[in-house]
Amino acid sequence: MSRCPCLSGMTYDACCGPLHAGAAVAQTAEQLMRSRYSAFAVGDPDYLQATWHASTRPKTLELDSDRRWYRLDILRTERGGPFDTDGVVEFRAYHRSSDGKGSQHEVSQFVREDGRWWYVDAVG
């Protein structure tokens, strides 16, 4: 069993794997954000599209196959619980590529509609 890329401490099959497979949905904004990070790490653009709010979702999405995501730090969360209608997750994600090491700092906005969390947009 492999460790989940989101660094939750669980295996991929017990953490983000079921969300990516459509067998489960995220219960919190942070869980959705972690699963979206993991989708970048495992190269799953379909999951990213499927969890992007229709109001901001791009028509197509291509991932950089040269970029390897290896670490996620959750810096803060606001709201985003199972009974909230919106949430914010601030994080820093680290990557490597042929250009060297880098990181992405982002403050992501999420909404919950009909019991399901969606990624809306980000500042950062």
83: three-class secondary structure by DSSP: coil
97: three-class secondary structure by DSSP: strand
Task: Supply the pLDDT for residue 123.
Answer: 84
| Mean per-residue pLDDT, 67-88 | 97
Q: What is the greatest pairwise CA distance in the chain?
A: 43
* Dist. CA 96–CA 84, nearest whole Å: 35
* pTM exceeding the 0.85 threshold for the entire prediction: yes
Task: Supply the pLDDT for residue 75.
Answer: 98
pLDDT tens digits, residue range 33-73? 999 999 999 999 999 999 999 999 999 999 999 999 999 99
| 88 — pLDDT class (breaks 50, 70, 90) | very high
